[in-house]
Amino acid sequence: MRRAARVLIACWYLIGATGCATFAVDSGAESSPFSHGVLAADHVIASRAGLEMLERGGNAVDAAVAASFCLAVVRPYSCGLGGGGFMVVHLAAEEPMPARNIAITYRETAPGGLHPEYYAQLGLPDASRIGPHAVGVPGTVAGLLYALENFGTLDRATVLRPAIRAAEKGFAIDADYVAAAREVLDDLAENPGWPDLIGRERFEWFHRRFLFNGEPKVGQVLHQPELGRTLRLLARDGEAAFYAGPLAHAIADACPAMTPGDLAHYEPRTSRPLTGAFRDRTIIAMPLPSSGGIALLQSLGLLERRRGDLDSTTSNSAGYVHLVVEAMKHAFADRAQWLGDDRYVDVPVATLLSDEYLSDLASRIDPQRTQPPDRYGNSVQLPDDDGTSHLSAVDQWGNAVACTETINLEFGSLTAIPEFGLLLNNEMDDFLTIPGQRNAFGLEQSERNQPEPGKWPLSSMSPTIVLGPDGRVEVVVGGSGGPRIISSSLQAMLSVLLFDASAQEAVSAPRFHHQWMPNVVQFEDSWVDGAVIEALGALGHEVGRREDVGVVQLIRRAGGGYSAASDPRKGGAPAGR
């Protein structure tokens, strides 16, 4: 599926009990520093849900979980209860507890009926990306409720209330929603067999509800009463309402490779985040199956080891772009060659992040010339994940959350569970589904990433927290946009750490992307400095254009508090107190 450029609109509408309440939002303005907490999401309704929890005395985890459940309602093409995600949590020191960092993985898993030859034997074109064969066991509900129960302070009913309100009372769709819906409509026009692959009854409900019968327009109101009832079940009964009983049976009945047991046995994983250092800061990043954490730490490690070259550049100058591109090419080459679900394959994480290895890679960077692709790695690529949403949160006590969630392609597998208002992911296309065949994004994948029951596919999602030399939260960042999550999050982070950019400057600046293969530096269409592009060409780079490079939500410490910004490429606005 194609990703169209998003258009920022100035107003968002939340339908309240007595009619339409309008919130004027200028996403181009830098937020004032907030001393009592702030949350930045890609929809203002979600940001306000997080703020509502902060105003009730909740912490950053409460705010993040409330915002995420709200995003499941207002960004159904990006994330939702039928998807999965990653969360990095920083809990500030509080006597007698020291500061703690936790990574929570609730990525979708391969169902029990899936095996490496499943799709080849099935023989149905597009079955790994469209329809019920593409669905992985959803993890979002388990992950969010685990975070709330173990690290939050408020009860489920309170935290789920904003999402229930948005689902039942409705909200007006914005330009980003319309663009996503039209992309799917274009794809459906090009693939007339998809409705049969999905199932006519389920497809017709999805088409009527989420695509507005093929005529989506800004301002139309999306009501989701079935999803509202599901959220009320979760508020009352917790995780069991999703992973057991009628709802679990409905999901399993819709998905041929899945059984109720796959859902009943799903568990999120908590682990220690990966950590690294950059300019006296501590970088807290997501471990596998996120490829983004390793790639970010490698890129930052290489740039730190080329500190003299980096310090002689200015923001988005030709020298700066070249150095960042060279670092990213090394990281993406290793990503392609080595990474997989570390419960199933051996991944040399310690070596990839070791001082000796990073110093060796850094020594290969030539400030005056790029290198041939074979100087960076082998010739395989890993998958993309486009329908994604990120939020960042900080509270008054210095706790922080970076949370990225997805259903993979926009609107996932296009497979609905109408009676519960759910859209299901198509995360199985993130595996190597048919050897030698490229995935939905034209990418060839490593055999380390073949499907097996219970296995997580790799992801580019890269929720990240940066601690300052004093141990306090300095930056919370993450994004959406497949492998461009890594490059966009890296550039936004560097804008703050190297050039002291404001939060809004960091997320709004034009960006570039290189993922090693294809061997092209892609500049956003908004990049107007032609001299930089020409200079990159003179350094041996092939250059090109694309509409956008990721969508970032960022919080940074500023003015005795925290300022925040939501990326204008998708819309949204932060909310704080």
- Name which of 285, 363, 247 is nearest 103 in CA terms: 285
DSSP strands (E only) in 500-540 = 512-513, 521-524
Q: Which amino acid is located at 170 in the chain?
A: G
Provide the β-strand partners of residue 90. Answer: 101, 400
* 460 touches 291 (CB < 8 A): yes
Helix (H, G, I), strand (E, B) or coil at 213: helix
Helix (H, G, I), strand (E, B) or coil at 105: strand
Annotated catalytic residue 415: no
Q: Which residues fall within 8 angstroms of residue 27, CB to CB, at 6 or more apart?
A: 8, 10, 565, 566, 568, 571, 572, 573
Task: Give CA–CA dist 535/317, Å, rounded.
Answer: 9
Residue 559 burial (10 A CB sphere; 0-12, 13-18, 19+): exposed
DSSP state of 32: P
Strand order through the sheet with 512-513: 512-513, 521-524, 543-546
Task: Give CA–CA dist 455/234, Å, rounded.
Answer: 26
DSSP string, 40-53: E-SSHHHHHHHHHH
DSSP strands (E only) in 312-362 = none
- Reported residue count of the chain is 577
Q: Which residues fall within 8 angstroms of residue 46, CB to CB, at 6 or more apart?
A: 39, 67, 68, 70, 71, 74, 75, 391, 572
Integer-rounded Cα radius of gyration of the chain: 22
Which of 140, 230, 388, 406 is labelled catalytic?
Answer: 388
Strand 543-546 with 521-524, pairing: parallel
Which residues have a catalytic role annotated? 388
